Amino acid sequence: MWRQWIPFWRPGLSPHSGDVDLLFAGLLIASALVLALLFFLLVLFCARYRAGNQIDRDHRVKKSWHWEVSWTAASFVCFLGLFVWGASVYFQIYRTPADDNDVFVVAKQWMWKTQHPGGQSEIDALHIPVKRPVRLVMASQDVIHSFFIPALRLKHDVVPGRYQDLEIEVDKPGHYHLFCAEYCGTDHSGMIGEIVAMEPADFSNWLTQQAPSSPLASEGGQLFRELGCSGCHGGGGTIRAPPLEGVYGKPVPLSDGTTVIADDKYIRDSILMPRSQVVASYQPLMPSFEGKVSEDQLLRLVIYIKSLAGHPS
Amino acid sequence: MSDKNYLTTDYTLRSWFLTTDHKRIAILYFASLIFFFFIGGAAATAIRIELATPQADLVSSDVYNRLFTMHGIIMVWFFLIPSIPNTLGNFVVPLMIGARDLAFPRLNLMSWYIFMLGGCITLFAILAGGVDTGWTFYTPFSTLYSNSYVIVAAAGIFIAGFSSILTGLNFIVTIHRLRAPGLTWYRLPLFLWSLYATSVILVLATPVLAITLLLMATERFFGVGIFDPRIGGDPLLFQHLFWFYSHPAVYIMILPGMGVINELVSCFSRKQVFGYKFVAWCSLAIAAVGFLVWGHHMFVSGQSLIASLVFSFMSFIVAVPSAIKVFNWTATLHKGSIHFDAPMLYALAFIGLFTIGGLTGLFLACLAYDVHATDTYFVVAHFHYIMVGGMVTAYFGGLHYWWPKITGRLYSEYWARTAAVLIFFGFNLTFFPQFILGAEGMPRRYHVYPPEFQVWNVLSSGGAAILAVAYLMPLFYLGYSAFFGRRAPANPWNAPGLEWQTSSPPPEFNFASQPVVTRAPYQYNEHFQAEPQNA
């Protein structure tokens, strides 16, 4: 690749980062041209028209609107082009990811905790297979963090109180920096880890070697019973609550007449703020679990409910 | 006519601290700002020394966090925002419009006291233990997790904000009401157009900052769910409110600098600024559009993609008037008679540095690249090119330009030029490597960093050492000139502006008789001589 021959340039390693690199090169070339023109004119004028230099200064440009209008229009058109280019790549980067290959990320002061659906969990590291898009579901337990992988030209803030989706994909096996880019307190600069991209075969070996105690979904199921959720949401309870089987990813009619898709965010919100979006024809009886479950536990509950999707009762 | 000037009318301390003379108040501001500049600069020096190695050898992480917070808070609110408007502006606005003083002289003095009160409270917060939130005070870190003097520091900034608002009001009323006979809007020097635009932002945006800080305090004291998601708040709301003030604040910092550059480029090429009306209206356009770009600080925060699209577009739009100004300054040089006095060297440095800062601003406005570059050293380099390379350079240029008027003394041209050149090289060596660091992905506000980033950090720290020396030099040669310099004539640059029509330093009430203006500003005849303003 031609980009490897530019000094100090480490090419991006994902399908989108090639586009970002190209955009960067475009911006650089445009800026270099403008700067070169400007500096050329500055030096030229300063040398030619220095005081005391005997040179023709007559026929000074009379106040002309042509110059003004033309360079205003030229800058505007250039800027418009860069805007459209940048925006189109941005929409590709942040397009809504597919949710078949999830990894869960919890950010807290000052570490990244990542969890695979099989239950394998890591601190300040994330193993992923190459050439396969992985959807990250990210949550923060305390302050705002930002998940930043320079090699992928990719970054997303992790804001407490909501889930953030991000799709990542790496082309080449290797170890890459994972930084926290949003200032988060004392050890902000220590909140770094690595992305380990592996060949798919190595990755499945790694997954099995990690020997998880139990998959996240079953931990979530256990939690579901311990917290008493099953008393109402399970069949045969005295209180009528909406059944959760098969609900994930489906539209849910709400009591205010609107409809919402039961995604990660909706399920999380329903656990923490159950009375804000009540399912149609049910009473707002559920208590809030705000402060009673950690982000880790919330993730497990969401994954459990997602795992119920396959077994509609 | 007596030979008393505003400096020699009275020598008592009382006459200084209770003065309502805009020129003396400018001197009060001037002294305070030097003080704050060196506090902020000392913090910057410590930061750059620490970053010369990848490990934490000089300070602990908590101390480092407090250092960059202190650097940011002091430099933004107690140096950059008040610098040109409150010192140079305060001094020359009435002179440039032929007035005896600002519209509200007592309010002007009160602004200084409010500013100093805010400054002292913030300094107290720093001395008492420091603040570690960064100058942006992002929630919920600042409301829940930071156990430092956040509220005290915010109270200082809150109070200083009133000083900004009052100064802005004072300038707006002054420019509307006190212009000399014949001084129409299109005869106003461009510096005043830019100060007028700045004042409009100060008056409209600063209250939003005050509200934001109040809400933050409310949340910290009473645990109300405004920004904290655990009790129903929204952390991004803080960012929206904060940047709704702080992005326009960037234009508060750069517009007066652009204004100064107009004066310098015109005077030292001995021509009228090319496209006067365009440049004048560009200031107002920047002020207006500057209110609509705040969301570009949140492209990776998870705000809606459509919002990002709109804010990116507006950010490109706001760059158009800035580009027009750069082209116009360059065109002004064409067929001029260019003198390379120290202020002009600063002006040329400004054009180069501001253009680099502006062009890299486009990188950050460009959505997909911003995803990679935001919160890295690329951003740090970009805004330092605008604020330090732009604003501080313009401030130094303006200071050298009006120094003979302010003190009645001439400084050493040799040392002034040396300092200007040294600042230019030191600055580029300090901040250009940071673009590369950012493009390679080094996040900002990192106290320790992976070793592969060290080369560029060492270059940057080396540049900072040169820059520190270069910034200290004017303290000596200007300080020397203030007491021992040669006497300055009324109009050492042979410039046509009204402020040069009175003696240096000006008498207490500026003009012996009311000046009358009969022509456009920057009038130089075909022999590049200033034509006198008075008919």
pLDDT in tens, B428-443: 999 999 999 999 999 9
Q: What confidence category does residue B534 fall into, taking pLDDT thresholds of 50, 70 and 90? A: low
Residue numbers of B between 235 and 254 with CB closer than 8 Å to A: 235-236
Q: What confidence category does residue A258 fall into, taking pLDDT thresholds of 50, 70 and 90? A: confident
State yes or no: pLDDT of A7 exceeds 60. Answer: no
* Contact list, B444 vs chain A (CB under 8 Å): 181, 183
Rounded to 5 degrees, φ, ψ at B512 are -65, -40
Taking CB atoms and an 8 Å limit, are B275 and A67 in contact across chains? yes
The predicted pLDDT at position B148 comes to 75
The predicted pLDDT at position A5 comes to 57
- Mean pLDDT calculated for residue range B8-20: 90
Which class for A106: exposed (0-12), middle (13-18), buried (19 or more C-beta within 10 A)?
buried
The predicted pLDDT at position A312 comes to 44
The predicted pLDDT at position A1 comes to 45
* Cβ atoms B363, B52 nearer than 8 A: no
Q: Establish whether the linkage from the previous residue to B500 is cis, with ω within 30° of 0.
A: no
Q: B173-229 pLDDT, tens per residue?
A: 999 999 999 999 999 999 999 999 999 999 999 999 999 999 998 888 888 888 888
Q: What confidence category does residue B529 fall into, taking pLDDT thresholds of 50, 70 and 90? A: confident
Taking CB atoms and an 8 Å limit, are B376 and A181 in contact across chains? yes
Q: Which of A79, A86, A142 sits opposite B319 (nearest CB)?
A: A79
CA distance B256 to B249: 12
CA distance B251 to B85: 12
* Contact list, B525 vs chain A (CB under 8 Å): none
* Contact list, A164 vs chain B (CB under 8 Å): 302
Greater model confidence, B412 or A306: B412
Distance from first CA to last CA of chain A, Å, rounded?
Answer: 54
Taking CB atoms and an 8 Å limit, are B62 and A90 in contact across chains? no
* Contact list, B313 vs chain A (CB under 8 Å): 83
Q: Which of B134, B300, B365 sits opposite A155 (nearest CB)?
A: B300
Residues shown for chain B: 535
State yes or no: pLDDT of B92 exceeds 60. Answer: yes
- Mean pLDDT calculated for residue range B285-292: 93
| d(CA B101, nearest CA chain A) in Å | 34
Contacts of B77 (CB under 8 A, 6+ apart): B118, B122, B157, B160
| d(CA A214, nearest CA chain B) in Å | 29
Taking CB atoms and an 8 Å limit, are A49 and B330 in contact across chains? no
State yes or no: pLDDT of A245 exceeds 90. Answer: no
Q: What confidence category does residue B2 fall into, taking pLDDT thresholds of 50, 70 and 90? A: low
Alpha-carbon distance values, A159 to A100, A162, A242 (Å): 23, 6, 29
State yes or no: pLDDT of B91 exceeds 80. Answer: yes
- Mean pLDDT calculated for residue range B60-78: 94
Neighbours of B334 (CB within 10 A): 17
Q: B490-510 pLDDT, tens per residue?
A: 999 999 989 999 998 999 889
The predicted pLDDT at position B533 comes to 67
Taking CB atoms and an 8 Å limit, are A186 and B362 in contact across chains? no
Give the residue from B48, B290, B404, B330 showing the smallest Cα distance to A38.
B330
Percent of chain B whose pLDDT exceeds 90:
80
Does B432 touch chain A if contact means CB atoms closer than 8 Å?
A: no
- Element holding A261 (H helix, E strand): strand A259-261
| A275 three-state secondary structure | coil
CA distance A240 to B122: 57
* Cβ atoms B299, B352 nearer than 8 A: no
Residue numbers of A between 204 and 263 with CB closer than 8 Å to B: none
Give the residue from B201, B151, B152, B149 showing the smallest Cα distance to B172.
B201
- Mean pLDDT calculated for residue range A47-67: 78
State yes or no: pLDDT of B73 exceeds 90. Answer: yes
* Cβ atoms A134, A171 nearer than 8 A: no
Taking CB atoms and an 8 Å limit, are A63 and B446 in contact across chains? no
Query: Per DSSP, what are the bridge partners of residue A114?
Result: A105, A122
| d(CA B245, nearest CA chain A) in Å | 20
Greater model confidence, A145 or B535: A145
Q: What confidence category does residue A61 fall into, taking pLDDT thresholds of 50, 70 and 90? A: low
Neighbours of B221 (CB within 10 A): 10
Distance from first CA to last CA of chain B, Å, rounded?
Answer: 21
Residue spans of alpha helices (H) in A147-228: 200-209, 216-226
State yes or no: pLDDT of B153 exceeds 60. Answer: yes
- Mean pLDDT calculated for residue range A270-288: 82
Least confident of A2-16, B275-289, B328-342: A2-16
- Element holding A156 (H helix, E strand): strand A154-158
State yes or no: pLDDT of A238 exceeds 80. Answer: no
Q: Crossing angle of helices A65-93/B342-365, nearest 10°?
A: 40
Q: What confidence category does residue B456 fall into, taking pLDDT thresholds of 50, 70 and 90? A: very high
- Mean pLDDT calculated for residue range A23-41: 93
The predicted pLDDT at position A8 comes to 59
DSSP string, B403-443: HHHHHSEE--HHHHHHHHHHHHHHHHHHHHHHHHHHHTTPB
Alpha-carbon distance values, B135 to A202, B139, B142, B243, B388 (Å): 45, 12, 10, 12, 16
User: Taking the model in full, what pTM does it have?
Assistant: 0.90
CA distance A137 to A264: 8
**For B366, which DSSP code?**
S
Average pLDDT value for chain B: 92
**Tokens read off for B532:** 């006198």
DSSP string, B39-81: HHHHHHHHHHHHTTSSS--SS-HHHHHHHHHHHHHHHIIIIIH
Taking CB atoms and an 8 Å limit, are B355 and A34 in contact across chains? yes
Residue numbers of A between 168 and 197 with CB closer than 8 Å to B: 177, 179-190, 192
Percent of chain B whose pLDDT exceeds 70:
99
For A291, which residue in chain B has the nearest alpha carbon? B230
The predicted pLDDT at position B321 comes to 93
CA distance B264 to B157: 32
Q: Which of B305, B319, B372 sits opposite A153 (nearest CB)?
A: B372
Give the residue from B276, B338, B268 showing the smallest Cα distance to A45.
B338
* Contact list, A38 vs chain B (CB under 8 Å): 326, 330, 351-352, 355
Does B428 touch chain A if contact means CB atoms closer than 8 Å?
A: no
Taking CB atoms and an 8 Å limit, are A76 and B335 in contact across chains? no
Residue numbers of A between 77 and 96 with CB closer than 8 Å to B: 79-80, 82-83, 85-94
The predicted pLDDT at position B97 comes to 94
What is the separation of C-alpha A257 from the centre of its chain, rounded to a whole number of angstroms?
A: 31
**Tokens read off for A213:** 């105690």
Does B377 touch chain A if contact means CB atoms closer than 8 Å?
A: no
* Contact list, A51 vs chain B (CB under 8 Å): 270, 337-339, 528
Residues shown for chain A: 313
Q: How many CB pairs under 8 A join A and B?
A: 238
Rounded to 5 degrees, φ, ψ at B443 are -70, 155
CA distance B93 to B195: 9
- Mean pLDDT calculated for residue range B295-300: 93
| A148 three-state secondary structure | strand
State yes or no: pLDDT of B270 exceeds 60. Answer: yes
The predicted pLDDT at position A255 comes to 84
Neighbours of B145 (CB within 10 A): 16
Percent of chain A whose pLDDT exceeds 90:
39
